[in-house]
Amino acid sequence: MRLAVMFCVAFLLICGCSPVTAEAPITPPVVHISPALDSKRARPDRGLMISATGGTLSNVQAYQGGEPVPGRLDRSRTIWRSDWTLKPAAEYTVTATAVGTRGPATVAVGRFRTRPAERTFGIAATAPLPGETVGTGMPIIIDFDTPVTDKAAVEQALEVEAGQPVEGAWRWTSDTQAVYRTRSFWAPRQRVTVTAHLAGLRLPGGVYGAADSTFAFIVGRDQTSVIDTRTHQMVVQRDGAVAERMAISAGMATTREYTTTSGVHLTMDKGNPVRMVSPGRQEGEPGYYDMMIDHAVRISNTGEYVHAKDNVWAQGRENVSHGCVNARPDQAAWFYATSLRGDAITITGTDRELEWNNGWGFWQLPWEKWIQGSALRTTDSARDWVPQR
């Protein structure tokens, strides 16, 4: 009997020394999508975000109207965000795959729809025009059809891609206009693409961007001119070599109005002929004029042109104009034919300085002052998780 008891104890002891282990259950990763799949009125201004819990994202595909939605993963590969806001009243399809260290993957597939926009804003005009070939000093000017009340958000949605990248910044010249200027002139002979990612961008008051807008232009040859009003000479250089020397006559400087402005001008447009009328004077008053001028290239908003004038007696010798720069008709015709919008013309020798906002006098501002007009550099543009580049 005693032996039997000892056996039982021994048996119990042996059994107690043998641990019983059970494998931990395998939990598949979880995929979260915002806006939620099957949403019918998702907010377009919040973009698209996909995240994984308990794993990493191995594949994300999002489409709208057959076009992929641009986006990117973070460094941990657990969060994917769209680069930009979403288009209003549009349907999106999403496929996202998350994988763990072991076990099955999780695949989330579905669609959602964004709410329509009752009030919209967009682009009214641009310079350069799509496909235009311009000079190396050319700014990018975007005019909006609605006053922009959140300039930082809109500026953040404006993308400039150049064949030869250069530093540049936007400056707001009004509530409806933004201007992009490079720190130094564009490199010649390259393509520049501008995209305004406005679709779904929300302004205060429930105003949404209706659609994205893209246009491209070409930077042509490098042509710059220097005009010295004291020596009455104009030198045109193309790609670093002198292309033309022209005797000129500038403003007579008897009044501020008749004084040619000094500074870095840009060619803005041209006409042949252009009607020129004396500002602030009526017919019969002293100084009144109304004439048609040939081969006129505009360089400011205060009536300054480089144009043809058959007064060779003054050109190269004396300044007798009403503020414009005139040259011999055949040379003015050559300059007219070879000028592109955005060519730089530097004028020296007068006591009237070109204002930075007179026409396209943007190069009159030092870079440090130019960037002060950027909404992104003067305000905190962080907002929830709105896509940022």
Active site residues: 307, 324
Which two three-digit tokens encode residue 254? 């008897």
Q: How buried is 265 (Cβ within 10 angstroms: 0-12 exposed, 13-18 middle, 19+ buried)? A: buried
Going by C-beta distance under 8 Å and a sequence separation of 6 or more, which residues neighbour residue 150? 203, 204
Closest CA to 212 of 194, 228, 226: 194
The H or E element spanning position 203 is: strand 202-203
CB 307 within 8 A of CB 291: no
At CA 361, angle to CA 355 and CA 366, rounded to 5?
85
C-alpha to C-alpha distances, 215 to 33, 131, 161, 322, nearest whole angstrom: 32, 8, 11, 38
Q: Report the alpha-carbon distance of residue 130 to residue 208 in Å, rounded.
A: 24
Which two three-digit tokens encode residue 243? 């292309």
C-alpha to C-alpha distances, 103 to 54, 152, 230, 375, nearest whole angstrom: 11, 45, 83, 49
Going by C-beta distance under 8 Å and a sequence separation of 6 or more, which residues neighbour residue 120? 88, 207, 208, 209, 210
Q: Report the alpha-carbon distance of residue 382 to residue 305 in Å, rounded.
A: 44
CB 289 within 8 A of CB 320: no
Q: Is the peptide bond before 128 cis (omega within 30 degrees of 0)?
A: yes
